[in-house]
Amino acid sequence: MTAVVQAEGLTKYYGRRRGLEDLTLDIQPGEIFGYLGPNGAGKTTTLRLLLDVIRPTRGLVRVLGGDPREPGVRSRIGYLPGELALEGRERAGEYLRFLGRIRGGVPASRIDELAERFEADLSVQMRKLSKGNKQKIGLIQAFMHEPEFLILDEPTGGLDPLVQQEFLALLREVRKSGRTVLMSSHVLAEVENVSDRVGIVRDGRLVAVEDVAALREKAVRRIELHFDAPVPAADFQGLPGVRDLRVEGAGVRCTIDGRPDALIKAAARHTVVHIVSAEPDLEEIFLTYYSDEEQHSARQESA
């Protein structure tokens, strides 16, 4: 199966300013890929390169097996720009029908169905649309021709929670039908529930690509154990994966990396009366990546 996105050494400079450096990434069919990073890290640059809005300085990019310069390739993509501009007196519905015609025809019933799901009013002039409503129109136009590949730049920005739920439901349907999604975000929580993999980009470089499942396993988890009697600290010291250990009388607090197995087995020798385990916060892992990278570059600078 050909990858939906194949990028090799993809690099983009705007004059001397770096947009993206040496991106190598494959996205497989049927995958939902979350593309994460703070603003200005190079997310939008990457997505625009995939759509031939901008041209690479160096490197190779293939989308759906072809060059994104070919109109035929772009007709199989649905795109939501990060800053969607819609203006003029034209009504939203007319504009959607125009985009549908250019893309080879979209049945009016499909547009209406999506408009209903997002509760979008298509009879409003585009210049009068609020930010959230523009975003709804943007989502409708990206999904309406049922493209094989969806590229969504910050799709949930400006949407209220109910519409966000509807959007996530739509994404799951897309995944079920075997189509591929690449969506960017600066908040991990937004993509972690629907993504199969996430890539983290920072300062124009892809610093990590992880399975969401694997990321969860790596998650730092806070655990509190309470026993019926004070426990010796020595029983818990030096357990694999256990950090920040604090033993205070009958209570044990720590954080663990990865599996809690060793800790649970050590605790099982005593009588456990209460256990508290916080859900792994992927946001925290995300930040860990970043601070590691920061320490790394700080070391390099001081060397």
- Interface with another protein includes 118 (CB under 8 A)? no
The whole-angstrom separation of Cα 73 and Cα 194 is 25
85 touches another protein by CB under 8 A: yes
Is residue 262 involved in binding another protein (CB under 8 A)?
no
**Minimum separation from the CB atom of position 47 to another protein (A):** 10
**What minimum distance in Å lies between the beta carbon of 80 and another protein?**
9
Q: Which is nearer to another protein, 70 or 113 (CB)?
A: 70
Cα→Cα distances 300→219, 286, 296, 303, Å: 27, 21, 6, 5
Residue 47 or 225 with smaller CB distance to another protein = 47
Interacting span for another protein (CB under 8 A) from 27-35, 87-95, 188-196, 253-261: 87-95
**DSSP per-residue string spanning 192-235:** HTT-SEEEEEETTEEEEEEEHHHHHHH-EEEEEEEESS---GGG
Residue selected from 133, 141, 156, 180 as contacting another protein according to rule CB under 8 A: 141
- 11 CB-near residues (< 8 Å, 6+ apart): 20, 21, 22, 23, 56, 57, 58, 59
CA–CA separation, 110 and 144 (whole Å):
6
Q: What's CA 103's distance to the chain center, in Å?
A: 27
Counting Cβ atoms within 10 Å, is residue 205 exposed (0-12), middle (13-18) or buried (19+)? Answer: middle
Instruction: Report in angstroms how near the CB of residue 183 gets to another protein at its nearest.
Output: 16
Please report whether residue 64 would count as binding another protein according to CB under 8 A. no
At closest approach, how far in Å is the CB of 141 from another protein?
8
Q: Are strands 32-36 and 180-185 parallel, antiparallel or unpaired?
A: parallel
Q: Tell me: does residue 72 bind another protein (CB under 8 A).
A: yes
Give me 169's structure tokens: 């439901």
Closest CA to 229 of 175, 256, 269, 262: 269
Contacting residue, 1, 16, 39, 104, with another protein by CB under 8 A: 104
Size of the site for another protein (CB under 8 A): 28
- CB closer to another protein out of 89 and 176: 89
> Which residue from 216, 195, 204 is spatially nearest to 34, judged by alpha carbons?
195
Closest CA to 153 of 43, 40, 56, 14: 43
Among residues 43 and 197, whose Cβ is nearest to another protein? 43
Q: Which of 71, 105, 161, 232 binds another protein (CB under 8 A)?
A: 71
Among 90, 146, 173, 211, binds another protein (CB under 8 A): 90
Exposed, middle or buried: residue 301 (CB in 10 Å: 0-12, 13-18, 19+)?
exposed
Q: Which is nearer to another protein, 83 or 283 (CB)?
A: 83
Q: Which of 88, 107, 178, 238 touches another protein by CB under 8 A?
A: 88
Which chain residues interact with another protein by CB under 8 A?
Answer: 14, 48, 51-55, 71-72, 74-75, 77, 79, 81, 83-90, 98-99, 102-104, 141
